[in-house]
Amino acid sequence: MVKRNRMKHIKENAVGYSFILPSIIGFGLFMAYPLLHSLFLSVMDWNMFKGLSGSTFVGLENYKAVFENEYFRAAIMNNLKFMVMAVPLLLIISLLLAALLNQKIYGRGMIRAMYFMPYIATITAAAVVFSALFHPEFGPVNGLLKLVGIADPPGWIASVKWALPTVALFWIWKNMGYCVVIFLAGLQGISRSYYEAASIDGANKYQQFRHITVPLVSPTTFFLAVTSVIASFQVFAEINVMTQGGPGTSTVTVVYHIYDTAFKRFIMGYASAVSWVFFFVVICITGLQWLGQKKWVNY
Amino acid sequence: MRFTMRKTSISIILFLIGIAMILPVLWMVSSSFKYESDVFKMPMEWIPSYFNPQNYITAITEFPYAAWYLNTAKTTIVVVFLVLSISAMSGYAFAKLNFKGKDIIFFLFISTMMIPIQVRIIPQFMMFKSFGWINSHLTVTMPWAYNAFSIFLMRQFFMSIPNDLIEASKIDGSNAYGTFFKVVLPLAKPSLTALTVLSFTWGWNAYFGPLIYINDNARQLLAVGIATFKAEYADNFAIQMAGATLALIPIIIVYIIAQRQFIEGIALSGVKG
């Protein structure tokens, strides 16, 4: 009996492992190994032009260089500003739209499809279109602003002050449909009976939204807050197509800085150190969100 | 009566916001048929008085569009296949099978969701270089063999399937694979649809990977190819818009055909966090 049980156990394990084997291989090859290698590179002085033999161990020198580099400092500040500008706005607008869409309305399918379309659109093509729309001299956005009497409209992506907000606007437009759909999924899990009870008690639509919808959808909000923050830190295609980090350092982000030093200037050791500092920052922010969730997320 | 008034006004507001969302796309299509001198004319002409096909002819003859489409279609299909098959199998194992170290492996997998891809992109570049994969489409497809987010998504879904169903299938004489393919997988259709949409957009929008690993223009993918327009025709916005339209139209057509399942799939699956 014991023996049969053991056989069963071995078989069970084998079946289980066979199901996850492809993922394990992928994990090893595309996650575990590159991570360890990257950690190793980050303590080496290695410029790709020198070849591997030209690399020397430098300890934490690269990390010191990261904190002393003004581009990195500008990049991390831009990432934080971008997060603060884009993520709350994205979540608030998406939740409001999802709450409206979750009611009985005409043409729901078509409207949802319109909101979701930017998310599907090829990112660089959309970035090309936005660059033209927000062109400081000829762009239709400024054309319209001049038409309504604003004589000196913003320079958008050509202006140090406006470039980052313009990219943020583009990012919100691109990702809103996804957030709306995820919020809709969350809203559909809220029982109608809460609203019925509240309306019998005389709560108006705003009170119902504030005291039923917002708290009960909070696990979804939390999920989107965590994933959107991580995504906002990884913004890259938008920057590379629309601004190339400029004007000045006004739109340099950490990922753009990594790309620039690693794949344009081939300073691999330093770039690896940047990526680990970056990872640490993302972990800290996600950790803070986890700690903060007790205050506002209702499971 | 009051209800219909309310319903109508909310519908109109949401519809107008929807129009605002797709306005950039409408402007793009309209401008792509204009002469350069008319693109920024104010007040704007939404429907040009004459259709100028020249921008499209220039775009198609000067850039390897057909190759970009084919490459992107090919890699996207492979990405969707990899993500779906591998994530569904792993998600099922983590949800319903028992094996040693299951929880630890799952925790390890999930914790990688926080690791930005940029941390591994440099060693991955060196690895692909030593494999001789630079300029090969393997560089943009194979890394999708591991994707913690979609494993998590599938696990969430499979958790909701009653154990009785799996037991019943076992009693009927199916082995673990039979149960998975014949009983469980057909039930996962909404989640698989959602994952198809997501992985389709991941594949179609891939930018960072091909930008780094592929430098042969004929082997390039659409997202990177399109960006070269802006650099080469910096002053010709009509051509830029034709190029952008060529990139967007196929995906929009696919999307319009499949949009119901697309969005329902995401909304109904376990993407609730």
Q: For residues A28 and B232, what is the distance between their CA atoms, to the nearest angstrom?
A: 40
Collapsing DSSP to helix, strand or coil, A267 comes out as strand
pLDDT in tens, B68-126: 999 999 999 999 999 999 999 999 999 999 999 999 999 999 989 888 888 999 999 99
Give exposure, B88-126, as e/b (b: 16+ Cβ within 10 Å). bbbbbbbbbbebeebeebbeebeebeebbbbbbbbbbbb
In this complex, which of B241, B255, B272 lies closest to A129 when CB atoms are compared? B241
Q: For residues A266 and A251, what is the distance between their CA atoms, to the nearest angstrom?
A: 21
Q: Are B68 and A172 in contact, with CB atoms under 8 Å apart?
A: no
Closest residue of chain A to B225, computed from CA coordinates: A124
For chain A, positions 267-286, list CB contacts with chain B under 8 A: 268, 271-272, 275-276, 278-279, 282-283, 286
pLDDT in tens, A103-128: 888 988 889 889 999 998 999 999 99
Q: For residues A279 and A260, what is the distance between their CA atoms, to the nearest angstrom?
A: 17
Q: Which residues on B lie below 8 Å from A254 (Cβ)?
A: 118
Q: Which residues on A lie below 8 Å from B116 (Cβ)?
A: 230, 233-234, 255, 275, 278-279, 282
* Chain A contact present for B21, CB below 8 A: yes
Query: Is residue A247 reached through a cis peptide bond, with omega within 30 degrees of 0 on the bond before it?
Result: yes
- How far apart are the CA of B182 and the nearest CA of chain A, in angstroms? 15
Q: What is the pLDDT of residue B155?
A: 92
Q: For residues A214 and A216, what is the distance between their CA atoms, to the nearest angstrom?
A: 6
* Chain A contact present for B8, CB below 8 A: yes
DSSP code, position A56: E
pLDDT in tens, A13-38: 999 999 999 999 999 999 999 999 99
Q: Are A231 and A175 in contact, with CB atoms under 8 Å apart?
A: yes
* Chain A contact present for B230, CB below 8 A: yes
Q: What is the pLDDT of residue A71?
A: 94
Q: Do A105 and B10 touch (CB under 8 A)?
A: yes
- Give the rounded percent of residues in chain A with a pLDDT score beyond 70: 97
pLDDT > 60? residue B273: no
DSSP code, position B145: G
A238 closest CA partner among A87, A126, A77: A126
Query: Is residue A140 reached through a cis peptide bond, with omega within 30 degrees of 0 on the bond before it?
Result: no
* Chain A contact present for B145, CB below 8 A: yes
Residues A41-69 have a mean pLDDT of 85
- The pTM of this model reads 0.91
The amino acid that residue A33 corresponds to is Y
Percent composition of chain A: helix, strand, coil (DSSP 3-state, to 5): 75, 0, 20
Residue B43 CB partners (closer than 8 Å, separation 6+): A147
B59: number of Cβ within 10 Å: 24
For chain A, positions 121-140, list CB contacts with chain B under 8 A: 121-133, 135, 138-140
Q: What is the pLDDT of residue B140?
A: 95
* Chain B contact present for A39, CB below 8 A: no
B239 closest CA partner among B165, B205, B247: B247
* Chain B contact present for A170, CB below 8 A: no
Cα A63 from chain centre: 25
How many residues belong to chain A? 299
pLDDT > 60? residue A296: yes
pLDDT in tens, A230-247: 999 999 999 999 999 989
B114 closest CA partner among A253, A222, A223, A226: A226
Q: Which helix (H) or strand (E) holds B217?
A: none
What mean pLDDT value characterizes chain B? Answer: 88
* Chain B contact present for A177, CB below 8 A: yes
Residue A235 CB partners (closer than 8 Å, separation 6+): A82, A167, A171, A253, A255
CA dihedral A159, A165, A171, A175 (to 10 degrees): -160
* Chain B contact present for A34, CB below 8 A: yes
What mean pLDDT value characterizes chain A? Answer: 91
Between A179 and B260, the more confident residue is: A179
Q: Do A119 and B201 touch (CB under 8 A)?
A: yes
- Where does the pLDDT of residue A73 fall: very low under 50, low under 70, confident under 90, or very high at 90 and above? very high
Residue among A111, A129, A146 with most chain B CBs within 10 A, to mutate: A129
HSE toward the beta carbon, residue A157, CA cutoff 13 A: 25
DSSP code, position A104: S
Collapsing DSSP to helix, strand or coil, A44 comes out as strand
Q: For residues B180 and B93, what is the distance between their CA atoms, to the nearest angstrom?
A: 10
Q: Which residues on B lie below 8 Å from A176 (Cβ)?
A: 21
- Where does the pLDDT of residue B203 fall: very low under 50, low under 70, confident under 90, or very high at 90 and above? very high
Residues A254-282 have a mean pLDDT of 94
* Chain A contact present for B25, CB below 8 A: yes
Q: Which helix (H) or strand (E) holds A45?
A: strand A44-45
Q: What is the pLDDT of residue B268?
A: 60
Residues B29-56 have a mean pLDDT of 82
Q: Do B7 and A275 touch (CB under 8 A)?
A: no
Q: Do B116 and A279 touch (CB under 8 A)?
A: yes
Q: For residues A243 and B26, what is the distance between their CA atoms, to the nearest angstrom?
A: 23
